[in-house]
Structure 1
Amino acid sequence: MAFTEEELTYLKSQPLARIATVGPDGQPDVVPVGFEYDGTYFYVGGIDPDSTRKVRNVRAGHTQVALVIDDLVSTNPWSPRFLRIYGTAEVIPRQGRFGETTNLRITPTQSWSWHLSGHPLDHDAEEFAPRRTVHSRP
């Protein structure tokens, strides 16, 4: 399966994500990142990415990652929304937002989206059921 039109629209509207990787010592590491999505893969690069923990963690063989794109539509009423992606990452050279540089290319394996419409929440049980997708490998 793939992302829905609603999920794709949300992805295009958000400039920032958080990526979680795991270090060789088992310590999780989460950092905010810019990202790109080409319809198949997510890319995370940056300025001097080779010096970052996220790239070192993936190079060390810890290829499972989590990516969260989220925001708050409103704090009153409380209206958060998110798209969470689990996947595998590999380190590749790529021409992207920051020029020709090292990127993590993330292949999504599962995702969950919640409340992407952003309308005010009324705590209805149906509102709190995220949409889960298992993604097929490209």
Structure 2
Amino acid sequence: MGDEIFTAVEREFLSGQGLARLATIGPDGGPQVRPVGFVLDAAGGTVDIGGPRLAESRKYRNVEANPLVSLVVDDMTPDEPGAVKPGWGRGVEIRGWAETLTLAEPPMAAGFFANEVIRIHPVRIISWHLDSDRLQDARTVGEPPS
């Protein structure tokens, strides 16, 4: 696993972002979407979600009950020469499954974020307007848990 999960362009984009939206499935079967901080573990091919008191959150409990998640990281394409689709949106959607973990130390913002994380294992990755050679890319990169 690892670097082949995300393309070089996706890794560069994700590494430059700090905010995403995580969709989980609530106890009533409906979606819950929340803004979250995250870090990309390109070597491991995963994404870690962090936050203060994360283990007390609804999103954490949702993942413990149902591991299916979707994470969207997006922004506006720079309006500058050489940009792909200047002024348009660009981003990456990661559909997959997640697990809750307690790490020895937070993956980000030590002293503010808790040691608990939600780790996302990608199954499908969709990206758009990141690369002028491929304005949109969608591919399956993993398997859901059995």
TM bucket (normalised to shorter chain) is 0.7 to 0.9
Contact 1:87–1:107 (CA under 8 A) maintained in structure 2:
yes
Alignment of 1:94-113 (within 5 A): 94=103, 95=105, 96-99=107-110, 101-113=115-127
Contact 1:47–1:98 (CA under 8 A) maintained in structure 2:
no
Q: 1:136 Cα shift?
A: 3.3
Q: Which aligned segments of 4 or more residues in structure 1 are displaced greater than 6 angstroms? A: none
3-state SS in 1 of match to 2:130: coil
- Alpha-carbon distance in structure 2 between the residues aligned to 1:54 and 1:3: 24
Deviates more, 1:104-113 or 1:93-102: 93-102
| Percent of residue pairs identical | 37
Q: 1:73 Cα shift?
A: 2.4
Alignment of 1:43-122 (within 5 A): 43-60=48-65, 62-73=66-77, 78-94=87-103, 95=105, 96-99=107-110, 101-117=115-131
The count of aligned residue pairs is: 127
3-state SS in 1 of match to 2:6: coil
- Alpha-carbon distance in structure 2 between the residues aligned to 1:115 and 1:54: 29
Q: 1:70 Cα shift?
A: 0.1
* TM-score normalized with structure 1 length: 0.83
5+ long unaligned stretches in structure 2: 80-85
Q: Residue 122 of structure 1 corresponds to which residue in structure 2? A: none
Q: 1:74 Cα shift?
A: 5.0
* TM-score normalized with structure 2 length: 0.78
Q: Is residue 37 from structure 1 mapped to residue 40 from structure 2 by the alignment?
A: yes
- Alpha-carbon distance in structure 1 between the residues aligned to 2:63 and 2:88: 34
- Alpha-carbon distance in structure 2 between the residues aligned to 1:80 and 1:59: 32
CA RMSD of aligned residues (A): 2.1
Contact 1:2–1:133 (CA under 8 A) maintained in structure 2:
no
5+ long unaligned stretches in structure 1: 120-125
Q: Is residue 131 from structure 1 mapped to residue 137 from structure 2 by the alignment?
A: yes
3-state SS in 2 of match to 1:78: coil
Q: Residue 10 of structure 1 corresponds to which residue in structure 2? A: 13
